[in-house]
Amino acid sequence: MSYYQEIKQFLVGMSVSLVPLIYLSMAFQKLPALEKAQSIYPKLIMGLSIFYGLVYVVLRKLLPSSRQSNFFLIGAIAGEIYSLIGHFVFRLPERLFHLKHPHIVHLIAPLIYAPLYGFLAYYLEKHVLLY
């Protein structure tokens, strides 16, 4: 695989990070001022899109098929990876969303990310050309 393809995949993965940034920013706006000052959200924004790009490149190397069903599988796996890191490393369900049952994110994330990657990432990778 050429570097062109890897750069394209990295940019596609980064573009998918815009969706979680939207709902993370909405949750952040609802926090009181003291919690905003202590929040990790501003630091999380810096690395989130880069992390999404790297995860997407790795998953595309592990599952190289270009069928659309493969993109749904990549989305489900990526969603589970993101939910595990968000829950156990950053404790986002407790800190940002104040969930009573924070483990529910592990069921919801693959359901959200499978169609996101299955449609958005598939379309971007197939129809957007980089020069």
Please give the model's pTM, rounded to 2 decimal places: 0.85
Phi, psi of 87 (to 5 degrees): -80, -50
The pLDDT of residue 56 is 96
pLDDT digits (tens, 9 = 90+) for 57-115: 999 999 988 899 999 999 999 999 999 998 898 888 887 777 889 899 999 999 999 99
d(CA 14, CA 23): 16
Contact (Cβ atoms closer than 8 angstroms) between residue 72 and residue 115: yes
d(CA 41, CA 28): 7
Instruction: Work out the percent of the chain whose per-residue pLDDT is above 90.
Output: 50
